Structures are given as structure tokens and as C-alpha cells.
Amino acid sequence: MAKTVEPMTSGSISKRMIFFALPLLLGNLFQQLYNTVDSLIVGNFLGSSALAAVSSSGSLIFMLIGFLSGISSGAGVVVSRYFGAEDKNGVLRAVHTMVTFGLVAGVLMTATGVLLSPQILIWMGTPESVMPESVTYLQIYFSGSLGFVMYNIFVGILQAIGDSRHPLCYLMISSVINLVLDILFIEVFHTGVGGAALATVIKIRFDSKMLGQIIRIGLPSGVQNSIIAFVNVVVQSYINAFGEMAMAGYGAYSKIEGFAFLPINSFTMVMTTFVGQNLGAGQTERTKRGARFGILTTVILAELIGIVVFLLAPQLIAAFDSTPEVILFGVEKARTAALFYCLLAYSHSVASILRGAGKAVVPMIIMMAFWCVIRVAFLAISIPLTHAIQMVYVVYPLTWGLSSIVFFFYYKQANWMNQINMNRKEG
């Protein structure tokens, strides 16, 4: 094995997790930049209407790619287990199976995204004033789905075996290219939001038994991602009803939240890999110590970041759009949610640990119950009664808190050692 790919089954837990997390953090930063630069350039060069068009597309994009991302996470867990157990043949079979699956799924996703984008935007209540640009952005974006899907599969496989450096290099290169192409297409060639999407797009042996393992672990995450994303599409439809300025402000905040949560995302990815590898190696006590360290780290980081976002919200929103009304909507959303990032971090941390242990159904049930059913029910009741956009803002910290309470009691009351041993035997 190359020196850059060392198992996380030995050595200092904190050092292993932190040094694995740092390249992930930088990689996620560039990936978020890759996704955010469209909004920054569109908002500053093309105005609030164009920013609203791009922003309203985010939830729909994640709804269609979330399912495949969940399946990919299942593949990562399977690969990390075999890698931790030093089963090279198992790793190879898992990689080949997932690559084949990704090729087929990427083609299907391209066709689905291109064909259904206009109708789904109509269902979301997208204003007519931004509909043409929204459709253009989405259809061009989804035309490159195959490349996006395969990239994420390969990155997930590398991260599962503990290689977080090569994905960082690839993301740095692609992000710089995306930035240059965005400016070129929008400011020089005047291609509008279609140019932003185009800049994002440019840039084997099959084992049925192995696919069964991947689906068993990844399907719950995929279903969860898709349904939560669908709920966010529903939430976006409520935002759309308040007009373009609300859409632009809410969209700008969403991009900021994406950056703010990067350290937490990095550590949750580390926890899934750490648990998977150490579970594969049969190191139960080390798994539990790593899980505790990961939870504590993510919660503290999330709250510190939340305080910064709360204090700097006006300046951060203004970076996307300096229109006073847009800033007002964005700042109100930020100051409603930011101080509760610790709750979101806790829920994601425990969910990642459980997925790494092969118990992906548990976080799926908890998150779907609170982040989907309760979230939609709350908005369906509160919005008609109050006609206030603040109800959309408050529903997120409310449901983060509820899910965290349930995760806390499940994690503390469950016989963790027996569950890990049981899952190891099943794997």
C-alpha cells in the first residue's frame, strides 16, 4: 500500500481523525466553492432575478442526486470494512460493482433530470419571471450527470480506504477551472445562467452479491437523502410564494450555511470511515472512543461557526447580493438558525456513526420522521395561519432539536458493543 493510504485501525485516534479530516475539509471547501461560485457571479453580474433562478434549483438538484449519493455512501462503508479487515479481494469486488452501478445510474439520471426539470419547477411554484432561466440552468446541469456521479463514486472509494489527499487535488483543479469558465461564459460571452451550468458540466466486473451489501447499507441513506431533498423542494415552494427577493436572500443564506457546515461534514465523513474500518478489524473499543471524539469535535466546531455566522450575517449575505431587501431576508434566516448548528451537528454525527456500523435504517427513520413529516406538517399548518416567512426559518432548528433528542437516547440506551459485534458478523 502507498504511504498515503494507511488504515485508521492503529495509532492516535485524534491524530488519525484530524489529519484525515483536514484534506477532506479543504476538498469540501473547494467543492462548495465549485457550487457557490455560480451564485456569487450570477448575483453580482446578472442581478437578483437570475440569482433567484439559480437558488431555486438547488433543492431539486439534490433531490435527484441525493439518492445516488446515499448508495455511494453504502459502497464506502462496504469498502472501508473490507479494507479494515485487509481483504483485498473484497475491496476489489466492491469497487468494480459500484463503478458498474454508477455508469448505469448516471445515464438514467441525465435523462430524468433533463426531461422532468420544467414540470417539477412548475410544481414548486417557481415564478414565471425566473422560470426560463431556471429551466436552462437545470437542464444543462443535468446533462453532465454521468461525470458528476462517477466522480463522487471514485472520491467515495478513495476516502473509504483513507485517501483524502487525491480528491483534494482533483477538486482544487476543477474548482479553479469552474471559476474561470463561469466568468468567461457569463461576463465575456454573455450566456446568462446557462453559462454557469455549462461551466459546472464541462470540466469492469459486476458482483451481484456485493451489490446487495452496498444496497442494503446505502439504500436507506439514498431514500433518506431523496425524501429530505423533496421536502426541501416543498419548503422552497413556500419561499417562492414570498417573491424573488425572498428567494434570492434565502438562496444566499443556503450557500453560506453550506460553507459553515464544511468542518462538520468533514468530520462526519471521517467518522463513517473510522467506524467502518475499525469494525472490519474487530476493534470495538477503539471504534467507541473514536465515535465519542468525533461527536464532541463536531458539536463544538458547529457552535463556534454558528456564532460567527450570526455576527457576520449582513456582510456575508451582501457578498451575494447587495439589494437591501435580499440582505434582510437572508440575515433573518441566518440569525434564526445559526446558533442551533450544534443540534444539526449532533444529529449528523450520530447518523454517520450508525451508517459506518451498517445500521443505516435507524438514521433514515429518525431523520425522515422529524426532517420530513414534522417539517412539512408544521409548515402546512403555520404558513396559512400566519402568512409569515419566519415559520420557514424556525422549522429547521425546531426539527434539528427533535431529531437530536431521539438520537441521544437511542445512542445512549443501545447496547453499542453488541450491535457492533452483530453487524461485523453480518458483514
- What is the per-residue pLDDT across 230-275, written as a single tens digit (0 to 9) for each? 787 788 888 888 888 888 888 889 888 888 888 888 888 889 888 8
Tens digits of residue pLDDT in 140-196: 777 777 776 777 777 777 667 665 565 555 555 555 555 555 545 445 444 444 444
Dihedral sign for Cα 24, 223, 175, 244, please. Answer: negative
Q: Are 278 and 287 in contact (CB under 8 A)?
A: yes
DSSP string over 363-391 = HHHHHHIIIIIIHHHHHHHHHHHH--THH
Burial environment of residue 57 by CB neighbours within 10 A (0 to 12, 13 to 18, 19 or more): buried
Whether pLDDT at 41 is above 90: no
Instruction: Give the C-alpha distances (Å, rounded to integers) separating 86 from 123, 154, 210.
Output: 49, 20, 17
- In one letter, which amino acid is 227? I
Whether pLDDT at 333 is above 90: yes
Percent of the chain with pLDDT strictly greater than 70: 70
Interatomic CA distance for residues 338 and 336, integer angstroms: 6
Residue 203: how many CB atoms within 10 A of its CB? 16
User: How large is the average pLDDT for residues 120-131?
Assistant: 67
Dihedral sign for Cα 6, 146, 123, 53, please. Answer: positive
* pLDDT, position 102: 78
Model confidence at 329, in pLDDT bands (50, 70, 90)? very high
* pLDDT, position 177: 55
Question: Given phi > 0 = left and psi -120 to 50 = alpha, else beta, which region is 206?
Answer: beta
186 DSSP assignment: I
Produce one character per residue of 60-89: b if its CB has 16 or more CB atoms within 10 Å, e if not: bbbbbbbbbbbbbbbbbbbbbbbbbbeeee
Tens digits of residue pLDDT in 369-427: 999 999 999 999 999 999 999 999 999 999 999 999 999 999 887 565 455 544 444 44
| Residue 195 parent element (H or E) | helix 193-201
11 DSSP assignment: S
* pLDDT, position 71: 73
Grid-cell match 467507541, residue found: 288
Q: Are 210 and 97 in contact (CB under 8 A)?
A: yes
Dihedral sign for Cα 345, 69, 223, 351, please. Answer: negative
User: How large is the average pLDDT for residues 304-319?
Assistant: 94
Whether pLDDT at 61 is above 70: no
390: cell is: 419566519
Tens digits of residue pLDDT in 208-235: 666 676 777 777 877 777 788 778 778 8
Largest pairwise CA distance in the chain? 62
Interatomic CA distance for residues 378 and 419, integer angstroms: 34
End-to-end CA distance of the chain: 23
Interatomic CA distance for residues 110 and 102, integer angstroms: 12
Calculate the CA 403 to chain-centre distance: 18
Q: Are 273 and 355 in contact (CB under 8 A)?
A: no
* pLDDT, position 54: 53
3-state secondary structure of 8: coil
